[in-house]
Amino acid sequence: MNDAHDSQAEWRDSAAAFVLGALDPLEEQAFRRRMMRDPAIAAYVERELQPVADELLQAVEPIEPPASLSRSLIAAAQADLDAREVLDRSSAHVTSRPPRPRGGSRGWLGLDGRLGLKPAIAMAALAVALAGSFALGRIAGDDAGQVVPQAPSVAFEGVTANGASGRASLLEGGERGAVIYVRGLSPSRGGDVYQLWIARGRRVYPSTVFAVGRDRSGASYVPEDVIGADALMITREPAGGSDQPTGDVLVKAEI
């Protein structure tokens, strides 16, 4: 009787910790296995505890999000939609680095680089750029009209990569994010990537990574806000990117 009682108290404790997300990974795995073995425990969690935890999520002080969030989100979704069409016509490849920790003196919470948007927008920009639309400091033309609508841009110039050039164009009037395009760089090999760095004062923040194809060009979406930055720089880094530059600055755009 006592054993049964202790056992029930034990799994009820675990169930509470489970729905609150407080179990360590191994404990969580073990508890999930236990739920699979015992439907009564699974039912208790799903019907009795999980609804309470779900209600807790809504029991917070309501705060109105900024209107700019809605605008940038819808613009990004629209850009994604547009980029899908471009992607359908494109065969180039762009990679992005995985999500990076945010905090301290460096880094942001990047959008998930393995997903479609950044590569999609980058691909859209690349396709646009290859079509010859990078001109006069703006991305223009029908294809780019909704992807990067008349965005101000800055030019990359070669530092150690002679002859390399490119452009970074802000999205949505510069509210947040940009698209970069570079050419004249050596093709990516062995998993190496090119990485964008954003300089603000004396600090340099890591940003998106991308590949350069055999045509020596590459493009990527930059999720971070580049407004107020002093310069954008590109280096070559190991696969996945780096937290600090390890390679020479190949091209640089002074803002």
Binding site for another protein (CB under 8 A): 12-17, 19-24, 48-49, 51-66, 69-70, 72-74, 76-78, 80-81, 84, 99-104, 108-109, 111-112, 115-117
Q: Which tokens is 154 given? A: 């800055």
The residue among 45 and 161 lying less far from another protein, judged by its C-beta, is 45
The residue among 43 and 115 lying less far from another protein, judged by its C-beta, is 115
Q: Tell me the C-alpha distance between 185 and 196, whole Å.
A: 13
Residue 175 CB, nearest approach to another protein (Å): 11
Element spanning 54, H or E: helix 50-58
The 3 state secondary structure assigned to 165-221 is: EEEEEECHHHCCCEEEEEECCCCCCCCCEEEEEEEECCEEEEEEEECCCCCCEEEEE
Residue 157 CB, nearest approach to another protein (Å): 31
Residue 104 CB, nearest approach to another protein (Å): 7
DSSP codes joined into one string, 93-156: ----PPP----TTS------TTSSHHHHHHHHHHHHHHTT-EETTEE-STTTTTTSTT-BEEEE
The residue among 1 and 60 lying less far from another protein, judged by its C-beta, is 60
Q: Tell me the C-alpha distance between 252 and 158, whole Å.
A: 7
The residue among 105 and 162 lying less far from another protein, judged by its C-beta, is 105
Residue 65 CB, nearest approach to another protein (Å): 4
The residue among 96 and 217 lying less far from another protein, judged by its C-beta, is 96
Residue 162 CB, nearest approach to another protein (Å): 37
Alpha-carbon distances of 105 from 110, 124, 145, 245, 254, rounded to whole Å: 15, 32, 36, 15, 21
How many residues can be counted in the chain?
Answer: 255
The residue among 30 and 69 lying less far from another protein, judged by its C-beta, is 69
The residue among 35 and 182 lying less far from another protein, judged by its C-beta, is 35
Element spanning 35, H or E: helix 25-37
DSSP 36: H
